[in-house]
Amino acid sequence: MPVEARKGALICDRCYRSLRRHLEDAADLIGHLRSIADPTKAAVYDRVSTGGSRPDIPAPVSADLIDSSNDIMKTLREWALRVQFPDQGWRAMGLEAGIDAAAAYDDAAGCADVILADFERLVNTVDVKLLGDAVLTRHDLRAPVPWWSVADGLARWSLEDNRARWATTPCPDCGSKTVLVMPPRRVGMSARYACKSCAFDKTDRDDGGFWAEAFAEEIPEAKPLPHDPRRLTLTQAAKLVGRTTGTVRGWVKSGDLTGEMGRYWEADVQAVAAQRRGEGVAA
């Protein structure tokens, strides 16, 4: 029996939610894949290709890590281009060799944002079937896969930090221990605390951040960092010091600026910019 399509969409409700969630998770996945592919956080491939003076032997990197981050990035870029320039031919490229986790995350998040911003329209076009295939196709991961979907990547390397869990703290409204703690789906989004027994449903931003405190113990690895306004995206960092994103990315690549998951401390950015000015370095 055919499943009823979601109202105003060509796919069913379940696929709609699944597709949306996978797109929201895609950038975190890319960042995660790059950070495990590149444990030193240095540009392993650059070192190989330039045959530089450093004697370090690059850690072996699983081909799956490279292939999956490459395929998923291609999907994101292709769809971001399709959404922005529907009438043009597009040929999206995979991940640049040696790109670090932060820059890869930034890039992927930018693409996912473009797609998600147009999501409600997209799900009502025939394109949604193609997008659904690219994102949700599940291959048998016990054998080499022909290509990696976002769902394949998430199945193979789960984003543990993003898993919802039951709070040990009882619900402040009904007293049941049935509050589900849902960490932010991605950097910049809210954590959510929802009781399954009553209508209690709050985010970490509600009531001046009170609930984030109340349920803090539930997310031990929760970093207050992503919500700190002094943590900047690559674009914000570039704007702050009046440079291009390419320049700031160069600082990241050269190791002068270190960030985490595509965010950089405001003070670090300013320090590197000041240092570069002092040295009279053009870029």
Q: Which positions lie near Zn ion, rule CB under 5 A?
A: 12, 14-15, 171, 173-174, 195, 197-198, 200
How far, in Å, CA of 176 to CA of 180, rounded? Answer: 11
**DSSP assignment, residue 193?**
E
In the complex, the smallest distance separating the C-beta of residue 189 from Zn ion, rounded to whole angstroms, is 23
How far, in Å, CA of 180 to CA of 218, rounded? Answer: 10
In the complex, the smallest distance separating the C-beta of residue 198 from Zn ion, rounded to whole angstroms, is 3
Nearer to Zn ion, 195 or 219 (CB): 195
In the complex, the smallest distance separating the C-beta of residue 276 from Zn ion, rounded to whole angstroms, is 51
Nearer to Zn ion, 187 or 194 (CB): 194
Cβ–Cβ < 8 Å for 29, 157? yes
Residue type, 214: A
Sort residue 206 into left (φ over 0), alpha (ψ -120 to 50) or beta: beta
Those residues with Cβ within 8 angstroms of residue 78's Cβ, 6 or more apart along the chain or in another chain: 90, 92, 134
Enclosing H/E stretch for 79: helix 63-84
Query: What are the φ/ψ torsions at residue 208 (nearest 5 degrees)?
Result: 65, 25
In the complex, the smallest distance separating the C-beta of residue 80 from Zn ion, rounded to whole angstroms, is 23
Those residues with Cβ within 8 angstroms of residue 162's Cβ, 6 or more apart along the chain or in another chain: 25, 28, 183, 184, 185
How far, in Å, CA of 135 to CA of 218, rounded? Answer: 30
Nearer to Zn ion, 14 or 165 (CB): 14
Nearer to Zn ion, 13 or 213 (CB): 13
Residue matched to tokens 């079937």: 129
Cβ–Cβ < 8 Å for 31, 101? yes
In the complex, the smallest distance separating the C-beta of residue 170 from Zn ion, rounded to whole angstroms, is 8
In the complex, the smallest distance separating the C-beta of residue 89 from Zn ion, rounded to whole angstroms, is 30
Nearer to Zn ion, 17 or 230 (CB): 17
Nearer to Zn ion, 46 or 173 (CB): 173
Those residues with Cβ within 8 angstroms of residue 212's Cβ, 6 or more apart along the chain or in another chain: 191, 204, 205
Nearer to Zn ion, 170 or 188 (CB): 170
> How many residues are recorded in the chain?
283
In the complex, the smallest distance separating the C-beta of residue 65 from Zn ion, rounded to whole angstroms, is 30
